[in-house]
Amino acid sequence: MRKLHTILALVLVFSMVVSFAGCKNTTGGSKGTTSKEPVELTLWVFNELHLKMYEFGEKAYNEKHSDAPIKVNMEVYPNADMHNKLLIAYQSGTGAPDIADLNLNFFTNFVSGGDWLAPLNDVVEKAFSNWNFEKSRFELYKIGDNYYGLPTHVGATVVYYNMEIIEKAGLTIEDINKIETWDQYCEIGKTVLEKTGIPMTCFETQNQRPFWPLIVQHGGDYLTKESEVILDSDSNIEVLEYMKKMWDDGIAIAAGGGSTAAEEFFTFMDSGSVASLIMPAWYMSRFLSYMPNLKGKIAIRPMPVFKAGEPRTVGIGGTATAVSKSSKYLDIAKEFLYESKLTYDAAVNIWESLAFDPVNLDAWKDEKLLKPSEYFYNESFFEIMAPYMSGAVSPANAKLSADAQDVVMNSVMPDVFISGSKTPREALVSAANELRAKQ
Amino acid sequence: MQKSGIIRIKSIFYNKNIAPYIFCLPFVISFFLFFFYPICTSIYMSFMKVITLDNMEFVGLKNYSRLYNEHFLNAIKLSTIYTLSMVILMMVFPVTIAGLLNSKSLRFRNFFRSAIFVPTLTSVIVAGIAFRMIFADIESGFINSIIISLGGKAVPFKQYYWTGILIMVVLAFWRDLGINMVYCLSAMQTIPEELYESARIDGANDISIFRHITIPSIKPILIYILTLTIINGYRMFTEGYVYWNEATPGGNGLTIVRYIYQQAFQKNDMGLGSAIGVVLLFIILTINLIQLKSFGLFRKGDD
């Protein structure tokens, strides 16, 4: 018992020392600055990677406004945590940052509750007059006539083929180039499975991809723009049944960890557990950061289609950067975002430091973006995808959007693929009814 | 002057009528400020549609009627299964291990005591992240690599319902075992040695001594553990949150408190969140009242 007390006392003392040290660190941060006191902006993000975009923006802003510099205090929080914190800050009216990155999954929560976000029309229009943009991404965050968020990327959905596995199955890049329909994709998948024992692809069973891009490609969605629930439409059911068939044939399995964002998934993908992955373009950044073994093996191709005439890519996911209405420096904050996300140089930076596909389409022709990437099969993403961008579509972002995504993640996917308790039709109908009850 | 002031203060502290209230005051203040007031506000808010905290709209019992849905019933089921498993484990293991560690014949007693106690000192979040890695879904996960080396197939622990409950219970069990064992151990050390001696003279063996002397003597502590385990079981949140921090697929990790969190803070529906909270309060209150009454804790002068 005495030994226990000693240990306990030691631990307590240690934790006290640590917490005091922590206090000191945070309070000691603000040092006196030189002659010009910069305007301090606070910025919350949920992904550390995004900081590179804002560091660039801060530098660009300060170069143009050397007489009135800014200093951006960037804070990184985990995804769901940050949004909950922000919601509470807005509701209670204190503690909100000047600028926040809002995940598309949560965006509607921030525009349906109160009048918390500032319209960004002036900077958006300024950008539109200077360059050519993928405007559908701005529409996502437009309510009425106002834009409340600035998009980060197009998020064009593509198929990432692990060429090492494809070649092991006796196929070449020519065979992959020939794929135009999902049926052909499944045929290749069967060959790969037969020859190597490795499934062609994986589905997120605790998230919503590739279900979401596939239904949007096939003309469906969760909701219409007017927030009408169309989750159980015939075309959606058709897609989910198609996916279920791929699952039953063994050419699709569950993504390791259930989600492409899980730590396990990076190992799963990196160790060659599946031959291809259907994900948006921004997933290139995850390949580059977390999957070193796949360097030079990943070939990017547009999505195959269900029937001729459907778009070869779909914009999925997104981060809207919003400015709090309560911010003391609205104009400075907006201008700073313009420099971080919308300008030509910002777009080039977004590709170079984040490996995202920027919304500024003029930058897509920049030589830096057209330079082949060693990681991705020595090809340029932009060269491959540019021809397919004109018909690209994005899902609608309506009032129930966050709820719709939740019900797909929490019920539809696990019920159909994991527990098998519901058929695709049953799962979608019951999910849609749950959503309708919320209207 | 000063001296008489001190004396007056002293006399207040020594006054049998006033002193108890003064000593209780800090607790009473914090209770009213941080428990009673929020509870009242919650009950009030559960009848409201909360748009922002200063903009509410009365909706009557609508929030409560919305509670009758698949997810809430699942959450109650999950919380109940979890609580029951924890109660069974916590009624058996801490007392047994404490009994073993209390016997003088065991070597390295202190080492075992500390080893079992140390997990209690870790934070659930930190331990949870480690457990999430240990129970990783993929083949290279720690537990899965053991299963595979024994000739089995990798189990996606976080995806199935029952393995989902299992990994939460394992985490909670690992963490709570120590503190409950210490409670039992300290209660056992207050049992007079003479009782054991006379039982031995009467020819009782170790097992019957444990059953007929140790267990009845530490009954109050066991009731205490039971009560706390039930309360903690129903208000469990973190154990589920560390495994499923984004979504709750197929209801995995969606306990009653997680449902509050999801509705109130993630979906911005404070009214519904409050209604769940009120229902949770009544569930815990009812179960604990029944349990305490059946153990006779409300009878006076029993000891």
Q: What is the pLDDT along chain B (303 residues), one digit of tens a residue?
A: 566 777 777 787 787 888 888 889 999 999 999 999 999 999 999 999 887 777 788 998 999 998 888 889 999 999 999 999 999 999 999 999 998 888 777 788 888 888 999 999 988 889 998 999 899 888 888 999 999 999 988 888 988 999 999 999 999 999 999 999 999 999 999 999 888 889 888 888 888 888 888 899 999 999 999 999 999 999 999 999 999 887 888 889 999 999 999 888 888 788 999 999 999 999 999 998 998 888 776 665 544
Any idea where the domains of chain B sit in the sequence?
2-45, 67-294
Task: Supply the pLDDT for residue A35.
Answer: 52
Q: What is the 3-state secondary structure (H, E, C) of chain A?
A: CHHHHHHHHHHHHHHHHHHHHHHHHHHCCCCCCCCCCCEEEEEEECCHHHHHHHHHHHHHHHHHCCCCCEEEEEEECCHHHHHHHHHHHHHHCCCCCCEEEEEHHHHHHHHHCCCCECCCHHHHHHHHHHCCECCHHHHCCEECCEECCECCCCCEEEEEEEHHHHHHCCCCHHHHHHCCEHHHHHHHHHHHHHHHCCCCEEECCCCCCCHHHHHHHCCCCCECCCCCECCCCHHHHHHHHHHHHHHHHCCEEECHHHCCCCHHHHHHHHCCCCCEEEEECCHHHHHHHHCHHHCCCEEEEECCECCCCCCCCEECCCEEEEEECCCCCHHHHHHHHHHHHHCHHHHHHHHHHHCCCCCEHHHHHCHHHHCCECCCCCECHHHHHHHHCCCCECCCCCCCHHHHHHHHHHHHHHHHHHCCCCCHHHHHHHHHHHHHHCC
List of residues 6+ apart from B192 with CB closer than 8 A? none
Interface of B with A in 43-102 (CB under 8 A): 51-53, 55, 69-71
CB-nearest partner of A409 from B53, B140, B247: B247
Q: What is the 3-state secondary structure (H, E, C) of chain B?
A: CHHHHHHHHHHHHHCCCCHHHHHHHHHHHHHHHHHHHHHHHHHHHCCEEEEECCEEEECCCHHHHHCCCHHHHHHHHHHHHHHHHHHHHHHHHHHHHHHHHHCCCCCCHHHHHHHHHHHHHCCHHHHHHHHHHHCCCCCCCHHHHHHHHCCCCCCCCCCCHHHHHHHHHHHHHHHHHHHHHHHHHHHHCCCCHHHHHHHHHCCCCHHHHHHHHHHHHCHHHHHHHHHHHHHHHHCCCHHHHHHCCCCCHHHCCCCHHHHHHHHHHHCCCHHHHHHHHHHHHHHHHHHHHHHHHHCCCCCCCCC
Pairwise CA distance, residues B179 & A181, whole Å: 60
Q: Give buried/exposed letters for A154-183 (b at 16+ CB in 10 A, else e).
A: bbbbbbbbbbebbebbebeeebbeebeebe
Q: Is B250 on the interface with A (CB under 8 A)?
A: yes
User: pLDDT band at residue A9, thresholds of 50, 70 and 90?
Assistant: low
CA A86 distance to own-chain centroid: 19
Q: Given an 8 Å threshold on Cβ–Cβ distance, is A206 in contact with B158?
A: yes
Selected for mutation to probe chain B from A86, A206, A405 (highest B CB count within 10 Å) is: A206
For residue A8, the chain B residues in CB contact (below 8 A) are: 121
Q: Is B2 on the interface with A (CB under 8 A)?
A: no
Q: For A415, name the nearest residue in chain B, comparing CA atoms only.
A: B250
Overall average pLDDT of the A21-32 stretch: 41
- Given the DSSP bridges, would you call strands A276-280 and A157-162 parallel, antiparallel or unpaired? antiparallel
Q: For B185, name the nearest residue in chain A, comparing CA atoms only.
A: A1
Q: Given strand A276-280, what is the order of strands in its sheet?
A: A276-280, A157-162, A298-302
Q: For A427, name the nearest residue in chain B, comparing CA atoms only.
A: B250
Q: Given an 8 Å threshold on Cβ–Cβ distance, is B267 in contact with A92?
A: no
Q: Is B15 on the interface with A (CB under 8 A)?
A: no
CA distance B120 to chain A (A): 11
A70 DSSP β-pair partners: A39
SS3 call for B59: coil
Q: For B101, name the nearest residue in chain A, comparing CA atoms only.
A: A1
**Is B162 exposed, middle or buried (CB count within 10 Å of its CB: 0-12, 13-18, 19+)?**
exposed
Overall average pLDDT of the A232-260 stretch: 95
Task: Supply the pLDDT for residue A32.
Answer: 43
CA A370 distance to own-chain centroid: 22
User: pLDDT band at residue A262, thresholds of 50, 70 and 90?
Assistant: confident
Q: Given an 8 Å threshold on Cβ–Cβ distance, is A259 in contact with B246?
A: yes
Task: Supply the pLDDT for residue A222.
Answer: 95
CB-nearest partner of B250 from A113, A271, A415: A415
User: Using alpha carbons only, what angle is made at residue A390 by residues A385 and A396, rounded to the nearest 5 degrees?
Assistant: 105
Task: Supply the pLDDT for residue A123.
Answer: 95
CB contacts < 8 A, A to B, total 116
Q: Given an 8 Å threshold on Cβ–Cβ distance, is B250 in contact with A410?
A: yes
- Given the DSSP bridges, would you call strands A99-103 and A298-302 parallel, antiparallel or unpaired? unpaired
Q: Is A423 on the interface with B (CB under 8 A)?
A: no
Pairwise CA distance, residues A173 & A162, whole Å: 10
Q: Is B207 on the interface with A (CB under 8 A)?
A: no
Q: Given an 8 Å threshold on Cβ–Cβ distance, is B246 in contact with A4?
A: no
Specify the amino acid at residue A266. F
CB-nearest partner of B249 from A4, A258, A261: A258
Pairwise CA distance, residues B135 & B244, whole Å: 12
CA distance A259 to chain B (A): 10
Interface of A with B in 50-69 (CB under 8 A): none
Overall average pLDDT of the A361-390 stretch: 92
For residue A437, the chain B residues in CB contact (below 8 A) are: 69
The CATH number that domain B67-294 falls under is 1.10.3720.10
Q: Is B18 on the interface with A (CB under 8 A)?
A: no
Task: Supply the pLDDT for residue B162.
Answer: 93
Overall average pLDDT of the A184-189 stretch: 96
A13 DSSP β-pair partners: none
Pairwise CA distance, residues A217 & A211, whole Å: 10
Q: Of all residues in chain A, what percent carry a pLDDT higher than 90? A: 72
Closest CA to B137 of A291, A283, A262: A262
Q: Is A197 on the interface with B (CB under 8 A)?
A: no
**Is 90 exceeded by the pLDDT of residue A16?**
no
SS3 call for A159: strand
Q: Given an 8 Å threshold on Cβ–Cβ distance, is B140 in contact with A403?
A: no
Q: Is A264 on the interface with B (CB under 8 A)?
A: yes
Q: What sign has the CA pseudo-torsion A47, A49, A53, A58? A: positive
Q: How many residues can be counted in chain B? A: 303
Task: Supply the pLDDT for residue A393.
Answer: 85
State the complex-level ipTM.
0.77
Overall average pLDDT of the A188-197 stretch: 96
Specify the amino acid at residue A343. T
CB-nearest partner of B266 from A84, A263, A434: A84
The answer to whether residues A257 and A264 touch, using CB atoms and an 8 Å cutoff, is: yes
pLDDT digits (tens, 9 = 90+) for A296-351: 999 999 999 999 999 999 998 889 999 999 999 999 999 999 999 999 999 999 99
User: Average per-residue pLDDT in chain A?
Assistant: 89
Tokens 């400020």 correspond to B33
Q: Is A409 on the interface with B (CB under 8 A)?
A: yes
Which pair of tokens denotes residue B257? Answer: 């408190």
A298 DSSP β-pair partners: A162
CB-nearest partner of A410 from B137, B160, B247: B247
Q: For A407, name the nearest residue in chain B, comparing CA atoms only.
A: B249
Q: How far is CA B82 from CA A217, B76, B187, in A?
A: 42, 10, 27
Task: Supply the pLDDT for residue A29.
Answer: 38
Q: For A88, name the nearest residue in chain B, comparing CA atoms only.
A: B265
CB-nearest partner of B138 from A87, A207, A264: A264
Q: Could you tell me the pTM of the whole model?
A: 0.82
Q: Given an 8 Å threshold on Cβ–Cβ distance, is B268 in contact with A113?
A: yes
Which pair of tokens denotes residue B151? Answer: 């000739």
